[in-house]
Structure 1
Amino acid sequence: MLDKQEMAILFSGGTDSLALYGLAAAGNLEDLKKPRRIHLLHMLNGLSRFHDFPQARFQVAKDILAKRVPKPADLPEALYVELDMGRLFQGLWLDHYEELMPRFNGKNLVCVACKLAMHTRALLYSMEHLVPSIATGYSSKQDYYPEQTPVFMEKIAEFTGHFGVKSTFPVYEAFDDKTITRHTLEDLGLPSTGGGERKCLFSQTLTTATAKEIGQYMDEMIPRLTEFVDLKLAGRVKEAARCFPPGNTHGLK
């Protein structure tokens, strides 16, 4: 079954992640064989609205794709999973951003922290469920987001690769224009306009972070996350919690 392994996809419900799901299900991704099961991992950061949109978009897409094949067995099994990474997100940025921003040239790295938490949660899920790879629908047309940049992707791949899980970004170069994503979705018979993503409160946050600050921040946080993952996998709950202590302990009372 090595030719048909399982894979995970970070699934927001937006057009890029939806297209990535459709391409993976159809077996039309270059250098990526058709999987036998796809885990669509939807992350909850605690700061989003319209919570039913992504799952509804997934169900519509799943039904459409099922009608394109003569037998259900021809389509990879698809599992929609919601994972909460809000506490990690807090520990990586929100609890301590007053201290963190001066260390990284005063830059706003909130979205980098959020995505770093998402990839860490996806890594833990993949290791627990023996999923060998995680694909993400980052695209070069959105490289104005600090997490959709080469430095972020390279460091994430190194981080998950340390634990034997491969991180890939299979549509990053191809989806360099909205028309390419739209054509791909319409060619698969899938919805090609918005309406599938939750609305995140940070989606329009200004940031002028460069590759330098992004890289420095990740270099500081990834060793802590590596320790966190090791402790979580070992079942050492107390030590894992201490990797990311709360910034304001008075708020716990």
Structure 2
Amino acid sequence: MMDILQEKKDKDVVVLFSGGIDCSLVSLLLRKDGYRVHLLHYDHGASISNGLHRIRFQELKNLMGEDKILLQELSHRGLFRKLALANIENDFAKYKTNMICLGCRLAMHIETIIYCMKNDIHTVADGSVKYQNDFPEQNDAALEIFRELYKKYGIEYKTLLAEVSSAKDVKYRLLDNGISIQSMEDTCLFSNTFNKAEENSIKEFLNERLSICDTYIEEKMCLLK
């Protein structure tokens, strides 16, 4: 029994962390399940950072304990440009909608895979949630591709809020744990350009970029050999 408890205690998990309410709740749930939580906050170079995610991190740290949660602020600017912006004219002509946020999320996941491989972490989670399923990057089609991508590299991808259909449910659970419910995310210059994308378009957009992602991961990991 003690071995089982020790194994559970020593588990590490990465959470993609914007400072928003969904990823904050995911962090709490994972900590309650015995994980040590690594929060990864990404900068793609096209957002106005307000630093509020650090306030949310402090709230979580005060609740969980300093040695149970840490914040890493990383850049995915180069890969974001390559996946989301480099062919933007062709993408708009082909898909008739905005895929920038989908490309951005893919870039985050790739950098997260690299972080996990560097740090021997085998579990990743994010705040993807049912009530935001219309966003291409949180659509079921995208989540399944992300899940298979992580699996390819020996990593489990968790979407703990995939069945949560109301933001109120998330907010009340945060309040129950003494966490504020204001949005503490950076302001993205593309945040008001949302269009709903068809599932086939989401799949095609992501699948045609996977070889680029594999090459990128391989090149980054070669630097560590």
TM-score by length of 2: 0.91
Please list, as runs of the form range in 1=range in 2, the aligned pairs for 1:148-187 lying within 5 A after superposition: 148-173=138-163, 175-187=164-176
SS of match in other structure, 1:3: helix
Q: Does 1:81 align with 2:77?
A: no
Aligned to 2:212: 224
State which of 13, 19, 22 in structure 1 corresponds to 2:19: 13
Is the 2:135–2:196 Cα contact (8 Å) retained in structure 1?
Answer: no
Q: Does 1:50 align with 2:45?
A: no
SS of match in other structure, 2:96: coil
SS of match in other structure, 2:219: helix
Query: Aligned-pair distance for 1:171?
Result: 1.2
Counterparts of 1:206 and 1:169, CA distance in 2: 22
Query: Aligned-pair distance for 1:102?
Result: 2.8
Residue identity opposite 1:81 in structure 2: Q
State which of 91, 99, 110 in structure 2 corresponds to 1:100: 91
String of CA shifts for 1:91-115, please: whole Å, max 9, x gaps: 0121221123333x32210010000
Higher helix share: 2
State which of 188, 208, 211 in structure 2 corresponds to 1:200: 188
TM-score by length of 1: 0.81
Q: Does 1:144 align with 2:134?
A: yes
Query: Aligned-pair distance for 1:76?
Result: 6.0
Is the 1:38–1:79 Cα contact (8 Å) retained in structure 2?
Answer: yes
SS of match in other structure, 2:56: helix
Residue identity opposite 1:98 in structure 2: E
Residue identity opposite 2:72 in structure 1: V
Aligned to 1:248: none
Query: Aligned-pair distance for 1:136?
Result: 0.6
Counterparts of 1:93 and 1:39, CA distance in 2: 26
Structure 1: 5+ residue stretches without partners: 28-33, 67-71, 237-253
Pairwise CA RMSD of aligned residues? Answer: 1.7
State which of 189, 192, 200 in structure 2 corresponds to 1:212: 200
| Count of equivalent residues | 218
Counterparts of 1:213 and 1:144, CA distance in 2: 13
SS of match in other structure, 1:134: strand
Counterparts of 2:188 and 2:101, CA distance in 1: 10
Change (3 A) 1:234 1:50: closer
| Structure 1: 4+ residue segments shifted above 4 A | none
Q: Does 1:3 align with 2:11?
A: no
Residue identity opposite 1:13 in structure 2: G
Counterparts of 1:48 and 1:98, CA distance in 2: 21
Is the 1:93–1:110 Cα contact (8 Å) retained in structure 2?
Answer: yes
Q: Report the structure number with the largest CA radius of gyration.
A: 1
SS of match in other structure, 2:69: strand
SS of match in other structure, 2:72: strand
Aligned to 1:30: none
Is the 1:157–1:166 Cα contact (8 Å) retained in structure 2?
Answer: yes
